[in-house]
Amino acid sequence: MSHRVLLAGLFHETHTFLDGRTPLDDWTILRGDELFSARGDASPLAGAISVADECGWTVTPTIDMRATPSGTVGDEVLEVFWEGLSSGFADGPFDGIYLVLHGAMACENCPDVEGEVISRIRAVESLADLPICGVLDLHGNISRQTIEETQGLISYRFNPHTDGHQVAVESARLLEQIMSSGRRPSSVWAAPSVMWPPTGTGTDDDPMKTLETMARRIEADDDDIVSVNVMGGFSFADTPDTGVSFAATTFGDPEVARTRLAELVDHAITHRQQGNVVDPPLASCLDDVDRHIAAGETPVVLVEPSDNIGGGAPGDATTMLAAFIARDIDGAVAIINDPESVQAVTELDIGDSVTLPIGGKTSRLTDGPLELTVTLESTSDGRFTLEDPHSHLASGAGLYIQMGPSAVVRCGGVRILLTSLKTPPFDLAQLRSQGIAPEECSVVNVKAAVAHRQGWDPVTAHTYTVDTPGPCSSDISRLPFERVNRPVFPLDELESAGP
Ligand SMILES: [Zn+2]
């Protein structure tokens, strides 16, 4: 008999230290059968739908809500999600629930949105005992409640997130296994009281690399343990549960799984400093950049985590652009999100010039606008299709991306792509679609931390990750935390820590 599954998605990484809030208007909302429009688009939602199709589930699609990482979410967004989810309850009874989640969403009066959603579901009599499975981003700040009241929320294994679709498929197959067999796994949670900046959460580098290896070994060692999550957490959020956490789902003894998670906790505490990656200042690399360009070793990528769009930053910081222009670096490229400037230049003819303030308009933590005289090279509607379906961007947005109306302008030898919707620079089609060949750039300002690597590393000659003024600086000890559970590294020393 066909299994009946309630399906929903809620996806946001909330930077609670940003000015302003994220209102309902900023969200892309799919309702009912609109969720099926994700079919085949490489997103986690598409992964869940593919298993539903394969297993012949009768799905009640309710609501999918997602927004680009940004500031604290208005409380009304949670209520709209809950109304959307509740609208499906009448279709029951169900055999299971599948959720596409991020894990680091925070509303004004609800710092643990995912935990709140789970607890509301469990309070509905007809849903109280149903298996809940789903997918989490590796950057979720996950509470014990979220894990221990569900049966299989599985997180991405890679950062950059090349496996969002695949993990969604695996967690949906787990739900099918639970519904078919009637056997119920338990999930257990543990956390080391450690926060790492996004730059410290790449899975090609330690400590995440070793933690992922240890987690896969636990899965291989113990036939009962079906998944082990290594969550890097999202440190730009002042919530009680912010930080690194682990989870295991097992058909066996939960205490055995807890013992295995303790190994991960120990490793994270012992190697806590390794994940606390703080970047050198921009000025420290500029002479090296000149030398590389003179030697033809290009493109050079200058990674700017403080304006990491994927971490919620505005994507309009001008510090690096100012350095390119001050040195008039021929072939340099920066991408600045600035809808006002796009509008101002699209009134021009191609080849015309205008003087206007560019970027620096949305965060008091950046350097402010840069007054430039620029020449218009091209305009577009800003749509592009990912060239890499396993791009980190696909895990949040699917294959088809919209930067809004966009324009390429030139100032001396420096080109600037101006966008109207901030767009994480994770896929090379972003520049290529605007007539800029990434391979031919001399130096590129990439507003990211880690997730750009999948796209950029194969074409890059040299990479420098540097600190500039901005809201996503890797030095998290400077942020004014008030709500996070203490003690927590790096705000406090850990008494029980190893060497
Ligand atoms: Zn992430």
3-state secondary structure the chain: CCCEEEEEEEECEECCCCCCCECHHHCEEEEHHHHHHHCCCCCHHHHHHHHHHHHCCEEEEEEEEECCCECCECHHHHHHHHHHHHCCHHHCCCCEEEEEECCECCECCECCHHHHHHHHHHHCHHHCCCCEEEEECCCCCCCHHHHHCCCEEEECCCCCCCCHHHHHHHHHHHHHHHHHHCCCCEEEEECCCECCCHHHCCCCCCCHHHHHHHHHHHHHHCCCEEEEEEECCCCCCCCCCCCCEEEEEECCCHHHHHHHHHHHHHHHHHCHHHHCCCCCEHHHHHHHHHHHHHCCCCCEEEECHHHCHHHCCCCCCCHHHHHHHHCCCCCCEEEEECHHHHHHHHCCCCCCEEEEEECCCCCCCCCCCEEEEEEEEEEECCEEECCCCCCHHHHHHCCEEECCCEEEEEECCEEEEEECCCCCCCCCHHHHCCCCCHHHCCEEEECCCCCCHHHHHHHCCEEEECECCCCCCCCHHHCCCCCCCCCCECCCCCCCCCC
Full pLDDT tens readout for the chain, 499 residues? 799 999 999 999 999 999 889 999 999 999 999 999 999 999 999 999 999 999 999 999 999 999 999 999 999 999 999 999 999 999 999 999 999 999 999 999 999 999 999 999 999 999 999 999 999 999 999 999 999 999 999 999 999 999 999 999 999 999 999 999 999 999 999 999 999 999 999 999 999 999 999 999 999 999 999 999 999 999 999 999 999 999 999 999 999 999 999 999 999 999 999 999 999 999 999 999 999 999 999 999 999 999 999 989 999 999 999 999 999 999 999 999 999 999 999 999 999 999 999 999 988 888 999 999 999 999 999 999 999 998 888 887 889 999 999 999 999 999 999 999 999 999 999 999 999 999 999 999 999 999 999 999 999 999 999 999 999 999 999 899 999 999 999 999 886 544 4
Q: What is the pLDDT of residue 317?
A: 97
CA 452 to ligand 1 center in whole angstroms? 12
- Shared-domain flag, residues 220 and 287: no
> Would 483 be classed as within a structural domain?
no
Q: What is the pLDDT of residue 496?
A: 56
Closest CA to 195 of 157, 237, 154: 237
CA 438 to ligand 1 center in whole angstroms? 24
- Shared-domain flag, residues 229 and 355: no
Residues 47, 427, 316, 434, CA torsion sign: negative
Long-range CB pairs of 49-53 (<8 Å, 24+ gap) are: 49/7, 50/169, 50/172, 51/169, 51/172, 51/173, 51/175, 51/176, 52/5, 52/7, 52/98, 52/172
- Shared-domain flag, residues 82 and 99: yes
CA 283 to ligand 1 center in whole angstroms? 29
CA 369 to ligand 1 center in whole angstroms? 29
CA 161 to ligand 1 center in whole angstroms? 7
Separation in Å, CA 437 to CA 287, 300, 331, 405, 456: 24, 13, 10, 20, 12
CA 34 to ligand 1 center in whole angstroms? 25
CA 450 to ligand 1 center in whole angstroms? 10
> Would 498 be classed as within a structural domain?
no
CA 110 to ligand 1 center in whole angstroms? 20
CA 318 to ligand 1 center in whole angstroms? 25
CA 139 to ligand 1 center in whole angstroms? 4
CA 287 to ligand 1 center in whole angstroms? 32
CA 343 to ligand 1 center in whole angstroms? 31
CA 457 to ligand 1 center in whole angstroms? 18
CA 393 to ligand 1 center in whole angstroms? 10
Please tell me the pTM assigned to this model.
0.90
CA 310 to ligand 1 center in whole angstroms? 8
Q: What is the pLDDT of residue 436?
A: 98
Alpha carbon distance 240, 22 (integer Å): 20
CA 290 to ligand 1 center in whole angstroms? 33
> Would 299 be classed as within a structural domain?
yes
CA 280 to ligand 1 center in whole angstroms? 23
- Shared-domain flag, residues 286 and 253: no
CA 297 to ligand 1 center in whole angstroms? 31
Of 275, 302, 321, the residue at which a domain comes to its end is 275
> Would 23 be classed as within a structural domain?
yes
Question: What's the chain's Rg over C-alpha atoms?
Answer: 23
Number of domains in the chain: 2
Phi/psi at 246 (5° precision):
-130, 155
Here the tokens at position 318 are 């001008």
- Shared-domain flag, residues 81 and 134: yes
CA 368 to ligand 1 center in whole angstroms? 28
CA 414 to ligand 1 center in whole angstroms? 31
Q: What is the pLDDT of residue 493?
A: 87
- Shared-domain flag, residues 258 and 296: no
Q: What is the pLDDT of residue 499?
A: 41
CA 38 to ligand 1 center in whole angstroms? 20
- Shared-domain flag, residues 245 and 318: no
Instruction: List 63's β-bridge partners, or say none.
Output: 8, 31
Please say whether the beta carbons of 473 and 312 come within 8 A.
no
CA 137 to ligand 1 center in whole angstroms? 5
CA 58 to ligand 1 center in whole angstroms? 30
> Would 131 be classed as within a structural domain?
yes
Q: Which domain holds residue 334?
A: 282-473
- Shared-domain flag, residues 235 and 323: no
- Shared-domain flag, residues 464 and 439: yes
CA 242 to ligand 1 center in whole angstroms? 14
Of 251, 275, 299, the residue at which a domain comes to its end is 275
CA 65 to ligand 1 center in whole angstroms? 16
CA 465 to ligand 1 center in whole angstroms? 18
- Shared-domain flag, residues 287 and 269: no
Q: Which amino acid is at 229?
A: N
CA 350 to ligand 1 center in whole angstroms? 38
- Shared-domain flag, residues 255 and 287: no
> Would 488 be classed as within a structural domain?
no
Instruction: List 110's β-bridge partners, or say none.
Output: 107
Q: What is the pLDDT of residue 392?
A: 84
CA 455 to ligand 1 center in whole angstroms? 16
> Would 499 be classed as within a structural domain?
no
CA 437 to ligand 1 center in whole angstroms? 27
Please say whether the beta carbons of 124 and 158 come within 8 A.
no
- Shared-domain flag, residues 176 and 223: yes
CA of residue 5 relative to chain centroid, distance: 27
> Would 456 be classed as within a structural domain?
yes
Of 275, 303, 320, the residue at which a domain comes to its end is 275
